[in-house]
Amino acid sequence: MRQTQLLSPTLRQAPADAEAASHQLLVRAGYIRPLASGVYSYLPLGWRVMRQLERIIREEMDRAGAQEVHLPALLPAELWKQSGRYSVYGPELIRLQDRHGREFALGPTHEEAVTALIRDEVKSYKRVPLTVYQIQTKYRDERRPRFGLLRGREFLMKDAYSFAIDTDGLDASYRAMFDAYHRIMRRLGLRYRAIEADAGAIGGDGTTHEFTVLADVGEDTVVSCTACEYAANLERAESGSAAGNGAGGREGSREGNYPAPERFPTPGMRTIDELASGLGLKPSAVIKTLIYTVDGAPVAVLVRGDHEVNEIKVKNCLDAAAVELADEETVAAVSGAPIGFAGPIGLRPDVRVLVDRDVASMSEGIAGANAEDTHVKHVVPGRDIPLETVGDYRNVMEGEACPHCGEGRLQFHRGIEVGHVFKLGTKYSAALGATVLDPNGREQPLLMGCYGIGVSRLLAAIVEQHHDERGIIWPRAIAPFQVHLIPVAWKDEAQRQAAERLYAELQQAGISVLLDDREERIGVKLADADLFGMPLRLVIGRSIAEGMVEWKERAGTGAETVRIEHCIDNVLEWV
């Protein structure tokens, strides 16, 4: 490709709203352009990278035995009503009507559509296990589209769905996809983790892993162990006490003679910090009581003062649809006090109380007294707080012992979730009637798995890991062009001729080349080359008189000179 013919408008300045490096660089280098919030056009360079990414993903899906299909993006609402998701998916689902007033949705994901297809076309257990996949545009009206391609409202996803008659079949399909995802991440040269994740609303039998690319801009917190393989996201990571090792047992003895609970004034001390500094104690001496509204009912969650409540764990434990912090009125109604003074003793009797294990193992603590400007001390779990609903309701903390090996410590990283594999079980097949006859002639709902990769998000995540202050540094596997060929002075006859010859020869050898045939100053050309990020740059300048070409890898630091007649062989060896 000749650069004079390439639609690649570069910008000196990043757009003002672009916070993420990938967003800034992809726009500046002319790979993408916004059309609306969270909606992007791909220009030729951006689309070439996308094609490469798709190629790698297709190769690995095919190798894992999955078959490519293409389902509609325009989905009849009826299907979503059958699965029950039409009402619960919420405002992220883009809904529309056709000219006859029939309801449709733009597909944010395709469990319903694929289940309906398999329901109608597969009738016998002999046809499964079966995995189909597609690479398709998805629509989600995200509350906060941001970071360019990382969270769009229209984005490209590879989604795959597996169907099996028994758990062995499901496990094998899940494993094949899990392995394929690892191969894809490795081929892309990414630093990533495959982590245990929360099953969320899509839910099935609960087994799920997220593939998370490590990057500071990521919205997810990845927890991993310094010693063993354990990795989970923060929503899911178990506290050591929950796993039953480390701090699981009671430190003090409940038999100990603790004085009776005693109320005392704490004017204006609403937060744990205010209380701890006001009384000169450690936050861990306090029992923190948070009032939530869970599917409309009040629930109090007790965690140690230095811990944070994990709302997903609360939600899962109560099998709830919605967990949110209670408003001021609710807090006043159930505790009789303003926010900041709720506590376990004397709450309205209908309030369900969840006690985190680390609170249960405290010998005594200080808690809110359910009265303004008042706390209570000598609160003894077990004596003053019923321990019927003890569980793991908190986020783990950096540095605490690993729940699995107990040897290592937990460390945190920021990450971008680029892929997600789930075991769905029969959730969709049962709702939509996707059954087959088993070997005994009995009808069985199919067991399903679903497997997504955000292809456009992955593109941006790669840039997050592969860039410097000057621009993008594409890994060879997905670069839009392998070689950027740059004559210093296009007007110079010798340089131009040598460049044209090398351009033709490289292409004949099967190498993709971008030839900078612009009459620009060399400074401008090199700055653009850095911004574009092609992995190898060949510069033809005055030393072409001696038959020499400059060879510089975008990822490396130094440059070398090579003889022009060796260029093709060297490039073939390098790619």
Binding footprint of ligand ATP on the chain (CB under 6 A): 109, 140, 142, 151-152, 155, 157, 417-420, 452, 454, 456-457
Q: Which one, 48 or 140, has the nearer CB to ligand ATP?
A: 140
Closest CB 105 distance from ligand ATP, rounded Å: 15
Q: Going along 380-517, which residue ranges are E strands? A: 390-391, 410-425, 435-437, 443-445, 447-454, 467-468, 471-472, 483-487, 513-515
Nearer to ligand ATP, 109 or 162 (CB): 109
CB 324 within 8 A of CB 292: yes
Q: Report the distance separating Cα 108 and Cα 538, nearest Å.
A: 43
What lies within 8 Å, CB to CB, of 229 at 6+ separation is none
In b/e form, how buried is each residue of 160-170, taking b as 16+ CB within 10 angstroms? Answer: bbbbbbeeebb
Smallest gap, in angstroms, from Cβ of residue 23 to ligand ATP? Answer: 12
- Which residue's CB is nearer to ligand ATP, number 40 or number 292? 40
Question: Which residue, 113 or 486, is less far from ligand ATP as judged by CB?
Answer: 113
Min dist. Cβ of residue 64 to ligand ATP (A): 17
How far apart are CB 388 and ligand ATP at their closest, in Å? 33
Strand partners, 263: 376
Question: Of 206 and 244, which has the nearer Cβ to ligand ATP?
Answer: 206
Identify the burial level of 510 via C-beta atoms within 10 angstroms of its C-beta, where 0-12 means exposed, 13-18 middle and 19 or more buried: exposed
Cβ within 8 Å of residue 524, ≥6 positions away: none
Which residue, 381 or 452, has its beta carbon nearer to ligand ATP? 452
- Judged by CB, which is closer to ligand ATP: 24, or 208? 208
Q: Which is nearer to ligand ATP, 155 or 230 (CB)?
A: 155
Distance of CA 129 to the CA centre of its chain: 28
Give the tokens for residue 254.
């409940």
Cis peptide before 129 (omega within 30 of 0): yes
Residue number, 201 or 559, with CB nearest to ligand ATP: 201
Q: How far is the CB of 156 from ligand ATP (least distance, A)?
A: 8
Residue closer to ligand ATP, measured from CB, 85 or 151 = 151
Q: Which is nearer to ligand ATP, 298 or 452 (CB)?
A: 452
Least distance in angstroms from the C-beta of 113 to ligand ATP: 15
Is-contact 553 535, C-beta < 8 A?
yes
Shortest spacing between CB 455 and ligand ATP, in angstroms: 8
Tokens of 175: 């494993």
Pair 369, 375: CB distance under 8 Å: yes
Say what angle helices 167-187 and 44-63 make with each other, to 10 degrees: 140
Is residue 379 a contact partner of residue 287, using CB atoms and an 8 Å limit?
yes
CB 92 to ligand ATP: min, Å: 8
Among 12, 18, 51, 44, CA closest to 464: 18
User: Do you know the residue count of the chain?
Assistant: 575
Cβ neighbours of 295 (radius 10 Å): 12
Tokens of 405: 């090996």
CB of 299 to ligand ATP, least distance (A): 24
161: its two tokens: 């769905």
CA distances from 300 to 325, 388, 515 (A): 10, 13, 66
Distance of alpha carbon 325 from alpha carbon 311, whole angstroms:
9
Nearer to ligand ATP, 145 or 533 (CB): 145
Q: Which ranges constitute the DSSP H helices of 285-382?
A: 311-318, 328-335, 357-360
Beta bridge partners of 193: 212
- Compute the distance between CA of residue 119 and CA of residue 112 in angstroms, rounded to an integer: 10
Least distance (Å) between residue 449 CB and ligand ATP: 13
Smallest gap, in angstroms, from Cβ of residue 94 to ligand ATP? 12
Q: Compute CA distances 212 → 71, 222, 223, 423, whole Å.
A: 27, 8, 11, 18
Nearer to ligand ATP, 152 or 535 (CB): 152
Q: Nearest distance from residue 325's CB to ligand ATP, in Å? A: 20
**Shortest CB 422 distance to ligand ATP, Å:** 8
**Which is closer to ligand ATP, CB of 150 or CB of 385?**
150
3-state SS, residue 97? strand
By Cβ distance, which residue is nearest to ligand ATP? 454
Closest CA to 563 of 498, 517, 481, 503: 498
DSSP 166-186: SHHHHHHHHHHHHHHHHHHHH
Sheet holding 536-540, edge to edge: 513-515, 483-487, 536-540, 548-553, 559-563
* Shortest Å, Cβ 215 to ligand ATP: 13
